[in-house]
Amino acid sequence: MPGWKFFLKKDHVKKEKTKKREWLDAIIFAVVAATLIRIFLIEAYAIPSGSMEKTLLIGDHLFVSKVNYGARIPMTPIAFPFAHHTMPLTGTKAYWDGVQWKYHRLPGLSDIKRNDIVVFNLPVGDTVALENQEPSYYNLVRQFGRQSIHSQYTITSRPVDKRENIIKRCIGIPGDIVSMKEGIVSINGKPEPLKSTSQMPYRIQFKTTDINFDVFSELGFTVSEMQQISPDSYLAIASPDMIGKLKKLDFVKSAGLEVKPDTVNDGDLFPLDANRKWNTDNFGPVKIPSKGWTVQLDSTTMPLYYRAIRTYEGNKIERKTDGWYINDKLASSYTFKMNYYWMMGDNRHNSIDSRHWGFLPEDHVVGKALFIWMSWDKEASFFHKIRWGDC
């Protein structure tokens, strides 16, 4: 019997892990834990452009909450950890779209509210010219023709959750009627003044031509970008707060918004309808679709809602002599399956937003911007790259 106990103990002795195995287990655990945190709780995001200045600056690093609006279950589950759509160095795809899951979202703490700053997948990022992503593929095709673009660039398609991440302010929520006149947005007929950090072009007139531009720098103006339009007046990009302080100076005669008249047609704007001659300062009214809302289909509404019905909600649409056909059935109306939003950048004249590509579908929403954890100024000197005041 003692001999049997000896052999049993010997057979059940637990082998010690090697150092390599311990490191491998630790790395696997860290990758899995970080991936789950990134998907379901919080994710870091860096501001790539100036479309949200002065609210958010290029080089600001944010934490984006997945909890506030409810975490979106991955729609493209097979992907390389920590890469979005493209692998670093190699430039190849960081995911495999052979497996696609339907859109589902966990319960959140709240719905998206007006004026929330939201990170989302670019709706028109479904098709991309890899060598030229600015402007979008659709803009390139409209400017140069499909054949020309497909012969010059590598064209690829991306699933919803692998489209480019961008950040804007939510201006309108499902069911709202949004419009803009002379640079001021109205929601459901009520004007919404510019936020204190929003930027627009202003025409500034002075009482004298002898101007101390150091004062402008102190107020936050970028003096090098101010355009002189007459001996005593300049065009400058500024926030309402900056203009309010400027008007108090005794050498300033006036300062007012410089916007386009409503007779100007910018052309390449949503909804690309020849009957709607809109521009970035004057558009609408537009009703934002909500889940369960039914719209009547006609020549007025279809330019607004065609892409939402066809592309975002996955329906086949055809125009025939006797009317519109949805999924091969004659339809006089359509009931939306998702909620939609209207997004705009705070730097109003330097933002590609809903004025250009239309509604944001709810399945494209990534999360809510929480706070800046670091602000990095690439243009500053080595010792001043961190913007301490913005962190």
CATH, residue 209: 3.30.70
Asked if residue 218 belongs to a domain, the reply is: yes
Asked if residue 243 belongs to a domain, the reply is: yes
Kind plus residue range of the DSSP H or E element containing 35: helix 19-40
Asked if residue 248 belongs to a domain, the reply is: yes
Asked if residue 285 belongs to a domain, the reply is: no
Report the alpha-carbon distance of residue 40 to residue 37 in Å, rounded: 5
pLDDT over threshold 70, residue 382? no
Please give the average per-residue pLDDT across 189-203, as a whole number: 92
Asked if residue 39 belongs to a domain, the reply is: no
Asked if residues 30 and 91 have their Cβ atoms less than 8 Å apart, the reply is no
Asked if residue 356 belongs to a domain, the reply is: no
Please give the average per-residue pLDDT across 302-325, as a whole number: 97
Identify the domain containing residue 236 by its residue range. 200-257
Q: What pLDDT, on the 0 to 100 scale, is given for residue 89?
A: 86
Asked if residues 153 and 143 have their Cβ atoms less than 8 Å apart, the reply is no
Report the alpha-carbon distance of residue 44 to residue 65 in Å, rounded: 9
Report the alpha-carbon distance of residue 265 to residue 282 in Å, rounded: 9
Q: Three-state DSSP class for 167?
A: strand
Asked if residue 251 belongs to a domain, the reply is: yes
Q: What pLDDT, on the 0 to 100 scale, is given for residue 13?
A: 54
- Per-residue pLDDT of 236-291, as tens digits, reads 999 999 999 999 999 999 999 999 999 999 988 999 998 999 999 999 999 999 99
Which amino acid, 3?
G
Q: What pLDDT, on the 0 to 100 scale, is given for residue 249?
A: 92
The string of DSSP codes covering 94-117 is SB-TTS-PPP-B---SS---TT-E
Asked if residue 209 belongs to a domain, the reply is: yes
Q: What pLDDT, on the 0 to 100 scale, is given for residue 3?
A: 53
pLDDT band at 54 (very low <50, low <70, confident <90, very high): confident
Both structure tokens of 4: 């049997």
Instruction: Please count the structural domains in the chain.
Output: 1
Report the alpha-carbon distance of residue 340 to residue 93 in Å, rounded: 29
pLDDT over threshold 70, residue 384? no
Q: What pLDDT, on the 0 to 100 scale, is given for residue 134?
A: 78
Kind plus residue range of the DSSP H or E element containing 181: strand 177-181
Selection from 242, 231, 170 nearest residue 200 by Cα: 242
Phi/psi for 141 (5° steps) reads -65, -40
pLDDT band at 11 (very low <50, low <70, confident <90, very high): low
- Per-residue pLDDT of 108-138, as tens digits, reads 999 999 999 999 999 999 999 999 887 789 9
Beta strands in 231-327 (DSSP E): 233-238, 252-257, 283-287, 294-296, 317-320, 323-326
